[in-house]
Amino acid sequence: MSTTQESTGRPERIVVGVDGSESSKDALAWAARQAKLTGMTLTVISAWQDTSIWGRSPGWLPGVDPATNTMAALNETISEVLGAESGADLKTAVVEGQPGPTLTEESKTASLIVVGSRGHGEFAGMLLGSVSEFLATHSYCPVVIIRYNAGTHRLS
């Protein structure tokens, strides 16, 4: 067991939430660099939600599997941002649920949570996204919120 894990009791794992937005791509690049610098495992998570409204689900079109589609989008984002740099210490997960609570649950067993400042749910004038704000106030481990900076998320 390493010194970091001995002192915190947590596995040496960085979790990054990715939704395909430009801000989350920057967060992924930052988290990958940090994992490489610290020797930690990188877990890349994307969450999807059922489209139920007031307990009634309209259902999915035949042949549509939201978990499979989300995993395909996640793999595409990882490939775009990390390319061949993804490394052996990279794990991926697709989870059904709201991103904030999902990542908060992950924070119980992580050394660090990384997210972009705004995701796809952003609207004009909002400085901090709802997921990043939720994590900043609910996470069980430190949180890094990466602000989008055009053109910085590519590792190459």
The CATH class, in words, for 10-42+65-146 is alpha beta
Question: Given a cut of 70, is residue 142 above it in pLDDT?
Answer: yes
**How large is the average pLDDT for residues 93-119?**
93
Q: What does the pLDDT read at residue 1? A: 42
In 54-90, which positions are buried (b, 16+ CB within 10 angstroms) versus exposed (e)?
eeeeeeeeeeeeeeeebbebbeebbeebbeeebeebe
**How large is the average pLDDT for residues 11-36?**
94
Strand partners of residue 93: 45
Question: Given a cut of 50, is residue 88 above it in pLDDT?
Answer: yes
Question: Given a cut of 90, is residue 154 above it in pLDDT?
Answer: no
Q: How confident is the model at residue 32 (pLDDT cuts 50, 70, 90)?
A: very high
